[in-house]
């Protein structure tokens, strides 16, 4: 009896530890995102996101660029948890007020439109953080870029991190070494820096983000010598005395709204707009140079790499399982209220100048 009891206990312990190991394994694997997460609960989610963006593009050719930037600025701060979308409230210090975001991030109204369409089709199912991942892929493919299977199943966070946004997001002025360190801090590498910078193949930037190159670069009293002189004169006209906050121009001067590899060919003619763009090729000895060169000569290689790096960026510390929540309103944590009844919408009064028309 004693032997049989011991044997049963031992067997039981074995089964329990086996279950612990198995559930640990499955625990990790169920915490992973996958492409079919909504196939049972919101099978049309991708088409709904895409068609809302198609509509927005009719009046705003920049919107796709603005939406992918939201995903980037979300993922780099406390992971891809929709933290960027939260407005100021009693409990939230909004990341929208961080230096890299203020007067610059835009498209929040379209995120809300997507959320409304999804709540109508499948209430309470799709997270705001997944909306940003889906909107990024739709925006890129609608602009002529690659498609990829978006991994899904993120849940929305309950907090924002204003100081994290100020310290974690890269600045165009800080040099490739420091920018690479910010990517490394979230599990991305030098290849990802170059590949994802290729998102600057569409969208706009304000004078304040490149005027450091125009008149007194880095305290030299002269413009940035790596800036194409033709582009330099247009930009100096566009941004006199360093320019106005409401003036923006195209990041890609050759094909402003298309997703292609011209960002990289522009760098070869010294036509990168931001200091951080041109440095990828012009910083002597930088490990980024051969990557730029191969993407400039082979768009397929860029497109394949872009899909992989986007999936990698979208995997930064997602909340899964029962962590976080599915927000009803992307601007507000469920059950809380916002102090901002009317959302500040930056960019509505801005002027875009196409340099080729100057
Ligand atoms: C490598 C470091 C990066 C730096 C320093 C940087 C910096 C900037 C700056 C300064 C602007 C202009 C913002 C404004 O004037 O309002 C901008 C715009 C943009 N960025 Fe980046 N960025 C970086 C990486 C990325 C990544 C990883 C993505 C996405 C994958 C991205 C996508 C965009 C897009 C699409 C725009 C245009 C947005 C619009 O037109 O609304 N950037 N970026
Ligand atoms: C996708 O992830 C969810 C949640 O972790 C899980 O329930 C589902 O089985 C996964 N689907 C596949 C095909 O792995
Ligand atoms: C999926 O959504 C698109 C865009 O809203 C719509 O045109 C289409 O009819 C929907 N399909 C189904 C099966 O509901
Ligand atoms: C944003 O723009 C407003 C109005 O032009 C200005 O008052 C504010 O200082 C700007 N904020 C930042 C962080 O640049
Ligand atoms: C905010 O972000 C910073 C920088 O990533 C991080 O060190 C800090 O732990 C975050 N704070 C919270 C409360 O998540
Ligand atoms: C790069 O980062 C270091 C350490 O954080 C800092 O001291 C330095 O000022 C940064 N360089 C630039 C150009 O921002
Ligand atoms: C960056 O990571 C990818 C895998 O995610 C890898 O293929 C690539 O070689 C890495 N690049 C560098 C410079 O380490
Ligand atoms: C323009 O900005 C640069 C630094 O980016 C600064 O050195 C220069 O004094 C500014 N010029 C004016 C007219 O504000
Ligand atoms: C800016 O100037 C500093 C100090 O003179 C120098 O170390 C640095 O390399 C310069 N940066 C660029 C991008 O030229
Ligand atoms: C400057 O840009 C133009 C195209 O805009 C190009 O033809 C020219 O070769 C570039 N100059 C240099 C020095 O890269
Ligand atoms: C471009 O890159 C793709 C993907 O890596 C490769 O299959 C193709 O052979 C390359 N094309 C050329 C002309 O090198």
In the CATH scheme, what is the code of domain 29-169+313-346?
Answer: 1.10.520.10
Give the pLDDT confidence score for residue 355 in this predicted structure: 55
What's the Cα-to-Cα distance from 97 to each of 100, 200, 285, 348, rounded to whole Å?
Answer: 8, 22, 36, 17
User: For 285-319, b where at least 16 C-beta lie within 10 A, e where not — what string?
Assistant: ebebbebbeebbeebeebbebbbebbbbbbbbebb
Distance 270 CA to ligand 8 centre (A): 22
Q: Is 249 in the pocket of ligand 1 (CB under 6 A)?
A: no
C-alpha to C-alpha distance for 216 and 132, rounded to whole angstroms: 38
- Classify residue 353 by its DSSP letter: E
User: What is the pLDDT confidence band of residue 353, given thresholds at 50, 70 and 90?
Assistant: low
Closest residue by Cα to atom 2, ligand 4, is: 103
What's the Cα-to-Cα distance from 131 to each of 117, 154, 200, 241, rounded to whole Å?
Answer: 11, 10, 21, 40
Q: Are 239 and 214 in contact (CB under 8 A)?
A: yes
C-alpha to C-alpha distance for 73 and 83, rounded to whole angstroms: 9
Which H/E stretch holds residue 113? helix 108-121
Distance 48 CA to ligand 3 centre (A): 6
Nearest to 267 by CA among 238, 300, 296: 296
Span 192-219, pLDDT tens digits: 999 999 999 999 999 999 999 999 999 9
β-pair partners for 249? 205, 353
Best CATH choice for the domain 199-305 from the list 3.30.2270.10, 1.10.3720.10, 1.10.420.10, 3.40.50.720: 1.10.420.10
For tokens 């800036």, name the residue: 227
In the predicted model, is pLDDT for residue 100 greater than 50? yes
Burial of residue 182 (CB within 10 Å: 0-12, 13-18, 19+) is middle
User: What is the pLDDT confidence band of residue 31, given thresholds at 50, 70 and 90?
Assistant: confident
The mean pLDDT value of the chain amounts to 90
C-alpha to C-alpha distance for 165 and 84, rounded to whole angstroms: 9
C-alpha to C-alpha distance for 194 and 37, rounded to whole angstroms: 30
Q: What is the end-to-end Cα distance of the chain in Å, rounded?
A: 95
**275: its two tokens:** 């200091």
CA-216 nearest atom, ligand 8: 7
Among the bound ligands, the one closest to the CA of 117: 3
Do domains 29-169+313-346 and 199-305 share one topology? The answer is no
Is 11 tagged catalytic?
Answer: no
Distance 204 CA to ligand 2 centre (A): 38
Phi, psi dihedrals of residue 188, rounded to the nearest 5°: -105, 160
Give the pLDDT confidence score for residue 350 in this predicted structure: 54
Nearest to 158 by CA among 81, 93, 97: 81
In the predicted model, is pLDDT for residue 342 greater than 60? no
**255: its two tokens:** 């094909």
C-alpha to C-alpha distance for 311 and 10, rounded to whole angstroms: 44
Domain ranges (residues) in the chain: 29-169+313-346, 199-305
Share of the chain above pLDDT 70, in %: 86
Give the pLDDT confidence score for residue 337 in this predicted structure: 83
In the predicted model, is pLDDT for residue 14 greater than 60? no
Mutational test site, ligand 5, from 98, 164, 168, 170, max ligand atoms within 8 Å of CB: 164
Q: Is 53 in the pocket of ligand 3 (CB under 6 A)?
A: no
C-alpha to C-alpha distance for 118 and 115, rounded to whole angstroms: 5
Question: How wide is the angle at C-alpha 341 spanned by C-alphas 337 and 344, nearest 5°?
Answer: 120
C-alpha to C-alpha distance for 276 and 209, rounded to whole angstroms: 10
* 13-22, 45-54, 120-129, 262-271: range with lowest mean pLDDT: 13-22
User: For 207-232, b where at least 16 C-beta lie within 10 A, e where not — what string?
Assistant: bbbbbbbbbebeeeeebbebbbeebb
In the predicted model, is pLDDT for residue 279 greater than 60? yes
pTM attached to this predicted model: 0.91
């Amino acid at each position: 009896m004693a032997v049989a009891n011991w044997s049963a206990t031992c067997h039981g312990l074995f089964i329990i530890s086996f279950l612990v190991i198995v559930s640990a394994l499955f625990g990790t694997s169920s915490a992973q995102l996958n492409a079919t997460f909504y196939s049972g609960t919101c099978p049309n989610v991708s088409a709904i996101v895409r068609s809302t963006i198609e509509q927005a593009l009719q009046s705003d050719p920049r919107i796709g660029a603005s939406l992918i930037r939201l995903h980037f600025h979300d993922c780099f701060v406390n992971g891809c948890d929709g933290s960027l979308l939260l407005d100021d409230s009693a409990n939230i210090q909004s990341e929208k007020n961080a230096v890299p975001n203020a007067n610059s991030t835009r498209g929040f109204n379209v995120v809300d439109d997507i959320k409304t369409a999804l709540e109508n089709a499948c209430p309470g199912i799709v997270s705001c953080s997944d909306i940003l991942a889906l909107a990024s892929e739709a925006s890129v493919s609608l602009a002529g870029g690659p498609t990829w299977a978006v991994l899904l199943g993120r849940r929305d966070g309950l907090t924002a991190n204003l100081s994290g946004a100020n310290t974690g997001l890269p600045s165009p002025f800080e040099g490739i070494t420091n920018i690479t360190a910010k990517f490394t801090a979230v599990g991305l590498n030098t290849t990802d820096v170059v590949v994802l910078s290729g998102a600057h193949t569409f969208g706009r930037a304000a004078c304040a983000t490149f005027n450091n190159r125009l008149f007194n670069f880095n305290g030299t009293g002269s413009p940035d010598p790596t800036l194409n002189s033709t582009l330099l004169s247009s930009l100096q006209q566009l941004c006199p005395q360093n320019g106005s906050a409401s003036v923006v121009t195209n990041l890609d001067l050759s094909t402003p709204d298309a997703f292609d590899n011209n960002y990289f060919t522009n760098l070869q003619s010294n036509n990168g707009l931001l200091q951080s763009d041109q440095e990828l090729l012009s910083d002597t000895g930088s490990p980024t140079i051969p990557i730029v060169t191969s993407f400039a000569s082979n768009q397929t290689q860029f497109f394949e790499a872009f899909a992989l790096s986007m999936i990698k960026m979208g995997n930064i510390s997602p909340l899964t399982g029962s962590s976080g929540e599915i927000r009803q309103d992307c601007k507000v944590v469920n059950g809380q209220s916002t102090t901002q009844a009317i959302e500040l919408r930056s960019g509505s009064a801005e002027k875009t100048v196409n340099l080729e028309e100057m």
